[in-house]
Amino acid sequence: MKAIILPAYNKNILRAILSLQVQERELPKPGKDEVLIKTHAAPVNPSDIAFIQGGYNIIKTLPVAPGFEASGIVTDAGENARNLIEKRVSAFVQADRDGTWTEYFIAHKDDLIVLKDIMDLDQASCFTVNPFTAYALMEIALFSKDRAIIQNAAGGQVAAFIRMMAGEQNIEVINIVRKPEVANRLKQEGVTHVLIQNEDTFEKQLYTLAKELNAATAFDAVGGELTGIMFNALGNDSELVIYGGLSNKPGTGINTMDVIFRNKIISGFNLVDWKSELSQPDFEEISEKLQDKFIEGAYRTAISNSVAPDDIVSGLKSYLGNMSDGKILIKP
């Protein structure tokens, strides 16, 4: 089978991308609790970018194929997973072996979501991470249901799901982006509160809006000084949740007195930990609910392009230049 192989981690993202090679690999054999999946599509996520730079919390033995999620069809299975053969699935895989940027990959049977017949396989390739992340973050925001959310990286897909879910609950969202063209696109789509983080009046606008809408929750995917700016804009009894570090900079500028005297909390979120605390029936119930939303067309991931493995370098460059345009899917 064909696989996109990373020979070595490289902090320099351009060098890391240019080092990727398409190679022939032996078809892997599933263990007794595992399945072999023929890949339909695998997305590129910020975690993949951090991974190939050696800056993610998962470090694998090299050389290795990157990719943590995908959709596809089960073509072979170990003795405890034979019932999954021919099922259409979404998979999330982080084990120390080739990931999903391959023609076929191995997944543990517990790391699969079996798809309903009419779930679109492109959408299913980006199903296991972002919709669940937004769902879990919204659980935090729902503690203060009548108060607004502030979020950065608002042109991205987690942020888009937050808007979809907050809209269902009539919760206002203050969206922060870094590029004027992304702000314009969101406004054209009907998003009400959009701020551009580098504008001179940004901080003032954020503080005014946050006060007016009584913001109680902030979702931070960026870090750096934005962490402090967002935190300080929140009212009493509020929480800033850090779930990404896109700027690669430490969060700064937090008003420490607010933490002590205004009951303001800073926390972190990790999907894997959240999922590990759920019972299997609870996870399946959430998964069902989310899948139905995709099937009825209420939720979707924006997909900007699909690329063949041989075009991975141009695909990654285009994703990094325009992340807010949507996901790039790798289709073997």
Ligand X SMILES: NC(=O)c1ccc[n+]([C@@H]2O[C@H](COP(=O)([O-])OP(=O)(O)OC[C@H]3O[C@@H](n4cnc5c(N)ncnc54)[C@H](OP(=O)(O)O)[C@@H]3O)[C@@H](O)[C@H]2O)c1
CB of 108 to ligand X, least distance (A): 19
Nearer residue to ligand X within complex by CB, 56 or 104: 56
Nearer residue to ligand X within complex by CB, 77 or 287: 287
Nearer residue to ligand X within complex by CB, 102 or 130: 130
Q: Which residues contact ligand X by CB under 6 A?
A: 45-47, 129-130, 133, 153, 155-158, 178-179, 182, 221-222, 243-244, 246-247, 269-271, 322-324
CB of 86 to ligand X, least distance (A): 29
Nearer residue to ligand X within complex by CB, 74 or 206: 206
CB of 294 to ligand X, least distance (A): 16
DSSP string, 170-214: T--EEEEES-HHHHHHHHHTT-SEEEETTSTTHHHHHHHHHHHTT
Nearer residue to ligand X within complex by CB, 46 or 66: 46
CB of 267 to ligand X, least distance (A): 11
Residues 186 and 175: beta-carbon distance below 8 Å: yes
Quote the CA–CA distance of 213 and 151 in Å, as a whole number: 14
- Per DSSP, what are the bridge partners of residue 37? 74, 105
Quote the CA–CA distance of 188 and 200 in Å, as a whole number: 23
Could you report how far apart the first and last alpha carbons of the chain are, in Å? 10
CB of 303 to ligand X, least distance (A): 10
The answer to whether the Cα torsion of 175, 263, 276, 48 is positive or negative is positive
Quote the CA–CA distance of 265 and 261 in Å, as a whole number: 11
Nearest position to ligand X, beta carbon: 244
